[in-house]
Amino acid sequence: MTGVTFRPVIDDDLGRSASGMMARPGFEKLVAALWAGEVGAVPCFDASRLARNGRDWRHLLELCGLGEARVIDLDGVYDLCLLNERLLLGMKGSISEFELGVIRARMLDAARAKGNGYSQHGRFAGSSCRLLYRRISGLFRKLLTVQAGRSIYQ
């Protein structure tokens, strides 16, 4: 049979961490099929999201170029045997990696701000335990200054 043969959708990696600590069977299936020369085109919504880190992305581009497989996303069809198209997809991957770094930095900054007990707007955002601790310590400071618990409520 000649013509187009459709392969099943590879979505095994959905919901898996991008930290690199988890196995990614979907990505491994794609790389194996590319390596075997069984893939002529890799359709996707956003090409830069196929791989989750720069190393995997560059490896995927290399395999697509060696196997003459096209990468197809909503922006176009890319022939990775052509230097300019390989450069364009490489830049898209680098920008995607940079965006992930920015998002990660913002999340860490927000976690640090929350750890200090204040939100980005300057309001108290700590846990209820911290609030309780502050109120109890304020009560004891008042007890020390007044010298009698009864006079606090009068």
Q: What are phi and psi of 2, to 5 degrees?
A: -110, 165
What distance in Å separates the CA atoms of residue 76 and residue 138, rounded to the nearest whole number? 64
Query: Which of these ranges, 4-8, 22-26, 99-103, has the smallest mean pLDDT?
Result: 4-8
Q: What is the mean pLDDT of residues 113-134?
A: 62
Q: What is the mean pLDDT of the chain?
A: 77
Q: What is the pLDDT of residues 42-55, one digit of tens each?
A: 888 877 777 777 78
* b/e burial code for range 11-32 (CB count within 10 A of at least 16 → b): eebeeeeeeeeeebebbeebbe
Q: What is the pLDDT of residues 70-123, one digit of tens each?
A: 998 888 899 999 999 999 988 988 888 888 889 989 998 888 777 665 555 545
The tokens describing 69, both together, are: 């497989």
Q: What is the mean pLDDT of residues 22-36?
A: 81
